[in-house]
Structure 1
Amino acid sequence: MAAPEPPPPSGTGFFGMLSFRRSATAVASFDPAQDDELLALDALQAHVADRLSALSAHAAAAAAASTSSALSLPFLAKLLDAVLSSDAAFRAVLAVAPVAAAISRPPSDRLASDLLDRAVKTLDVLNAASLTLASLRAAHRAALAAASCLLAPSLHRAHLARARRAIARLFPDDARVATAGGGGGGCAPSPSSRTMRALSFSVSKNWSAGRHMNAMAAHLAPPPTQATAAVAGAGSGLGLALYTMSSVLVFAMWALVAAVPCQDRASAAVSPPVAPPKQAQWAAPMSALQDRIAEEWRRREKKGSFSGSSAPTAGLLAEMQAVERAARDLNSLLEEIAEEQEEEEGHGIVGEDRAREVTERAEELAAACRALEEGLAPLERQVRAVFHRVVACRAEVVRCIDHSTRAATANPASSASGVPPQHQHSF
Structure 2
Amino acid sequence: MAAADPPPPPTGMGFLGLLSFRRSATAVASFDPAQDDELQVLHALQAHVADRLAALSHHPPLLSLAFLSKLLDAVLSSDDAFREVLGIGPVAAALSRPPADRLAADLLDRTVKTLDILNAVSLTLASLRGSHRAALTAASCLLAPPLHRAHFGRARRAISRLFPDAAKLAAAPSPSCRAGPARALSFSVSRNWSSGRHVHAMAAHLAPPPQSPTSASPGAGCGLGLALYTMSSVLVFSMWALVAAVPCQDRSSAATNPPVAPPKQVQWAAPMCALQERIADEWRKKDKKGSSSGSAAATGLLAEMQAVERAARELSSLLEEVAEEEEEEQLVMGATDERARDVVERAEALAAACRALEEGLAPLERQVRAVFHRVVASRGEVVRIMEHSTRSNSSATASAAAAAAASGSGAPPHHHSF
TM-score of the pair, normalised by structure 1: 0.82
Residue 354 of structure 2 corresponds to 369
Question: In the TM superposition, what is the alpha-carbon distance from 1:25 to its structure 2 partner?
Answer: 3.5
Residue 112 of structure 2 corresponds to 120
Distance 2:236 2:155 in 1: 41
Distance 1:107 1:154 in 2: 73
Distance 1:346 1:326 in 2: 25
Question: In the TM superposition, what is the alpha-carbon distance from 1:153 to its structure 2 partner?
Answer: 3.1
When residues 242 and 24 of structure 1 are mapped into structure 2, their CA distance, relative to the original with a 3 A threshold, is closer
When residues 347 and 81 of structure 1 are mapped into structure 2, their CA distance, relative to the original with a 3 A threshold, is closer
Distance 1:340 1:418 in 2: 91
Distance 2:381 2:214 in 1: 22
Cα displacement string for residues 183-217 of structure 1 (whole angstroms, at most 9, x for unaligned residues): xxxxxxx957999xx98992122111111111111
When residues 419 and 371 of structure 1 are mapped into structure 2, their CA distance, relative to the original with a 3 A threshold, is farther
Alignment check: 8 A CA contact 2:217 2:417 kept = no
Distance 2:323 2:189 in 1: 42
Alignment check: 8 A CA contact 1:259 1:317 kept = yes
Q: Does 1:265 align with 2:251?
A: yes
Question: In the TM superposition, what is the alpha-carbon distance from 1:140 to its structure 2 partner?
Answer: 1.0
Distance 2:289 2:214 in 1: 46
**Residues 244-323 of structure 1 aligned to structure 2 (within 5 Å):** 244-305=230-291, 307-323=292-308
Q: Does 1:158 align with 2:150?
A: yes
Alignment check: 8 A CA contact 2:64 2:304 kept = yes
Alignment check: 8 A CA contact 1:102 1:235 kept = no
Question: In the TM superposition, what is the alpha-carbon distance from 1:301 to its structure 2 partner?
Answer: 1.0
| Aligned-partner SS, 1:204 | coil
Residue 326 of structure 2 corresponds to 341
**Residues 172-211 of structure 1 aligned to structure 2 (within 5 Å):** 172=164, 202-211=188-197
| Aligned-partner SS, 2:212 | helix
Distance 1:228 1:332 in 2: 69
| Aligned-partner SS, 1:258 | helix
Distance 1:264 1:51 in 2: 29
Alignment check: 8 A CA contact 2:247 2:297 kept = no
Q: Which moved more, 1:83-92 or 1:156-165?
A: 156-165
| Aligned-partner SS, 1:74 | helix
When residues 260 and 420 of structure 1 are mapped into structure 2, their CA distance, relative to the original with a 3 A threshold, is farther
Alignment check: 8 A CA contact 1:276 1:283 kept = yes
| Aligned-partner SS, 2:95 | coil
Alignment check: 8 A CA contact 2:126 2:177 kept = no
Cα displacement string for residues 133-182 of structure 1 (whole angstroms, at most 9, x for unaligned residues): 00001221122012100111322222212211221221456xxxxxxxxx
When residues 21 and 126 of structure 1 are mapped into structure 2, their CA distance, relative to the original with a 3 A threshold, is closer
Question: In the TM superposition, what is the alpha-carbon distance from 1:30 to its structure 2 partner?
Answer: 3.5
- For 2:63, the aligned partner's letter is L
Residue 219 of structure 1 corresponds to 205
Q: Does 1:34 align with 2:26?
A: no
Q: Which of the numbers 380, 385, 388 marks the counterpart of 1:400?
A: 385
| Aligned-partner SS, 1:170 | coil
When residues 84 and 284 of structure 1 are mapped into structure 2, their CA distance, relative to the original with a 3 A threshold, is same
Question: In the TM superposition, what is the alpha-carbon distance from 1:394 to its structure 2 partner?
Answer: 0.5
| Aligned-partner SS, 1:41 | helix
- For 1:353, the aligned partner's letter is E
TM-score of the pair, normalised by structure 2: 0.84
- For 2:79, the aligned partner's letter is D
Question: In the TM superposition, what is the alpha-carbon distance from 1:220 to its structure 2 partner?
Answer: 0.5
Alignment check: 8 A CA contact 1:101 1:235 kept = no
When residues 136 and 161 of structure 1 are mapped into structure 2, their CA distance, relative to the original with a 3 A threshold, is same
Q: Does 1:54 align with 2:55?
A: yes
Distance 1:409 1:21 in 2: 27
Question: In the TM superposition, what is the alpha-carbon distance from 1:271 to its structure 2 partner?
Answer: 0.8
Q: Give the fraction of aligned pairs with identical amino acids, expressed as a percent.
A: 74
Alignment check: 8 A CA contact 1:98 1:234 kept = no
Alignment check: 8 A CA contact 2:331 2:337 kept = no
Q: Does 1:380 align with 2:381?
A: no
Cα displacement string for residues 114-146 of structure 1 (whole angstroms, at most 9, x for unaligned residues): 000000110000000000000001221122012
Alignment check: 8 A CA contact 2:57 2:274 kept = yes
Number of matched residues? 387
Alignment check: 8 A CA contact 1:169 1:192 kept = no
Alignment check: 8 A CA contact 2:397 2:413 kept = no
Distance 1:75 1:223 in 2: 30
Distance 1:18 1:117 in 2: 26
Alignment check: 8 A CA contact 1:228 1:237 kept = no
Distance 1:417 1:381 in 2: 55
| Aligned-partner SS, 2:344 | helix
Q: Does 1:238 align with 2:224?
A: yes
| Aligned-partner SS, 1:265 | coil
- For 1:57, the aligned partner's letter is H
CA-based RMSD: 3.2
| Aligned-partner SS, 1:266 | coil
Question: In the TM superposition, what is the alpha-carbon distance from 1:226 to its structure 2 partner?
Answer: 1.7
Residue 169 of structure 2 corresponds to none
Q: Which moved more, 1:253-262 or 1:146-155?
A: 146-155
Distance 2:362 2:258 in 1: 28
Q: Does 1:353 align with 2:338?
A: yes
Alignment check: 8 A CA contact 1:266 1:313 kept = no
Distance 1:32 1:143 in 2: 62
Residue 186 of structure 1 corresponds to none
Cα displacement string for residues 253-306 of structure 1 (whole angstroms, at most 9, x for unaligned residues): 00001110111111111111111011100000000011111111111111122x
Residue 74 of structure 2 corresponds to 82
When residues 336 and 34 of structure 1 are mapped into structure 2, their CA distance, relative to the original with a 3 A threshold, is same
Distance 1:207 1:227 in 2: 43
When residues 244 and 127 of structure 1 are mapped into structure 2, their CA distance, relative to the original with a 3 A threshold, is same
Alignment check: 8 A CA contact 1:233 1:420 kept = no
Question: In the TM superposition, what is the alpha-carbon distance from 1:248 to its structure 2 partner?
Answer: 0.2
